[in-house]
């Protein structure tokens, strides 16, 4: 499958950082009769699978499906799970640009703020800043959709199959400018989130993204704006709103100044919401509105 060819970085000779569990991979030394493909096993881009149980120390196996060799992986945990036995979630992040929200999400996963791990990045452009960051961190990358400018992109069916194969729990859009295919929405109901830089439903919809949003806010005379996190449906910015944060618009704001203040709130709000999602604290009211249960006081919602 084309999607398999584009995935890489599941198994590395260097330690893979994780807030709760550390993995140390030791590859066997090739014998003199080993082929060149076997000798370069540590650099293989073929599928590799890990199976580990957090909160334990034991040897497990890392197997390359194109080879019969195995690597020893030592798993150790130095932090007890404080979320009542809730398992860590697997996250797929979608980007089209610099990926600053993606970076904050990934860092929050590594430092333990989010009970989850980014297992794949989906980029609309191979050369975007978010994809460059993913390569630096050894994260696998998929290009979607397939276009004339991105001939290596994959189809909606391959995208869904790959995310399911990776056992992805939630899809997070972080500055992804393409319309999400209906196949993905059907495969992940109530499991796809997007962040938008205005207080939806104001200044949303097709064509409202990036600096265009902040220029429109200032031109309208609105006194307040801020990021919105919402579930994704088949249209631009029309899914159920999950969280918002208010940012005042100052009298002499430029679009760039306003964008910078909104972006700071985006970073913190998105991490807070993803933390609640991974800890299974989202509750759907009878009228279909999602609300967030407080971690400190389970009887309070926002």
Determine whether 113 is exposed, middle or buried from the number of CB atoms within 10 Å of its CB (0-12, 13-18, 19+): middle
Report DSSP letters for 115-153, one per residue. SEEEEEEEESSTTSHHHHHHHHTT--EEE-S--SS-TT-
Instruction: Centre a 10 Å sphere on the Cβ of residue 51 and count the other Cβ atoms it contains.
Output: 10
Peptide bond preceding 201 in cis form (omega within 30 of 0): yes
Tell me if residue 196 is catalytic: yes
CA dihedral 131, 132, 136, 141 (to 10 degrees): 20
Determine whether 126 is exposed, middle or buried from the number of CB atoms within 10 Å of its CB (0-12, 13-18, 19+): middle
Q: Which of 45, 106, 196, 214 is catalytic?
A: 196
C-alpha–C-alpha distance, residues 74 and 21, integer Å = 10
C-alpha–C-alpha distance, residues 35 and 20, integer Å = 37
Q: What is the 3-state secondary structure (H, E, C) of 29-65?
A: CCCCCCCHHHHCHHHCCCCEECCCCCCCCEEEEEEEC
What contacts 27, CB < 8 A, 6 or more positions away? 13, 41, 42, 69, 71
Indicate the helix (H) or strand (E) that contains 75.
Answer: strand 70-77
Active-site residue list:
196
């Amino acid at each position: 499958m084309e999607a398999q060819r584009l995935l890489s970085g599941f198994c590395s000779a260097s330690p893979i950082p994780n807030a709760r569990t550390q993995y140390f991979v030791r590859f066997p030394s090739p014998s003199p009769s080993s082929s060149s493909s076997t000798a370069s096993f540590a650099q293989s881009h073929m599928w590799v699978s890990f199976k580990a149980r957090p909160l334990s120390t034991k040897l497990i196996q890392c197997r390359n499906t194109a080879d019969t060799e195995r690597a020893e992986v030592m798993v150790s945990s130095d932090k007890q799970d404080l979320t009542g036995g809730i398992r860590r979630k697997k996250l797929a992040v979608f980007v089209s640009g610099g990926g600053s929200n993606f970076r904050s999400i990934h860092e929050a996963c590594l430092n333990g703020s989010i009970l989850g791990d980014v297992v794949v990045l989906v980029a609309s452009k191979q050369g975007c800043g978010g994809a460059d960051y993913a390569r630096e961190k050894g994260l696998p990358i998929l290009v979607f959709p397939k276009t004339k400018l991105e001939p290596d992109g994959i189809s909606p069916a391959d995208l869904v199959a790959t995310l399911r194969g990776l056992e992805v729990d939630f899809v997070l859009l972080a500055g992804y400018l393409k319309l999400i295919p209906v196949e993905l929405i059907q495969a992940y109901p109530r499991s796809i989130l997007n962040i938008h830089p205005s207080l939806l439903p104001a200044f949303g919809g097709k064509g409202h993204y990036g600096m265009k949003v902040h220029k429109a806010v200032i031109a309208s005379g609105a006194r307040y704006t801020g990021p919105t996190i919402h579930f994704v449906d088949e249209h631009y910015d029309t899914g159920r709103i999950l969280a918002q944060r208010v940012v005042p618009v100052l009298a002499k704001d430029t679009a760039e100044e306003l964008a910078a203040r909104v972006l700071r709130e985006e970073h913190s709000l998105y991490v807070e919401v993803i933390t609640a999602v991974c800890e299974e604290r989202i509750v759907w009211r009878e009228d279909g509105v999602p609300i967030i249960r407080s971690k400190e006081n389970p009887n309070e919602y926002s």
